[in-house]
Amino acid sequence: MAIVGVGVDVCDIDRFSHSLTRTPGLLDRLFTPAERSRPVASLAARFAAKEALAKALGAPTGMAWHDCEVVNESSGRPVLELRGTVAAAVAAAGAAHVHVSLSHDAGIASAMVVLES
């Protein structure tokens, strides 16, 4: 297996929270119903994961936010569930495995995505 892409993103949690308050429709536009119930720090990390995935893919246009969802395995490990436009972009990049890591501390949320063939 080879690495086909790497993406990293950080998100200021307070600034992200203010954006969600200022633009109420943003929550529905960025997140699936299951994701929306999470606390703001977790939402910021999930937003960072979606941005990191786009960066790992070279920021292609036409991907729908809801076609990438961060879910947790029973162990708590985050996993990206991909469908539709995002799954197609990942396949076109030649990636068979998508790895994600999330973190939030000291007012910053971050995510890293690695795409493997």
Question: Could you read off the pLDDT of 60-116 as tens digits, one per residue?
Answer: 889 999 999 999 999 999 999 999 999 999 999 999 999 999 999 999 999 999 999
Give the pTM: 0.95
Pick the CATH number of 3-116 from 2.40.110.10, 3.30.70.260, 3.30.70.270, 3.90.470.20: 3.90.470.20
For 46-74, write each residue's pLDDT tens digit: 999 999 999 999 988 899 999 999 999 99
Separation CA 103–CA 91 (nearest Å) = 26
Q: Both tokens of residue 106?
A: 């000291």
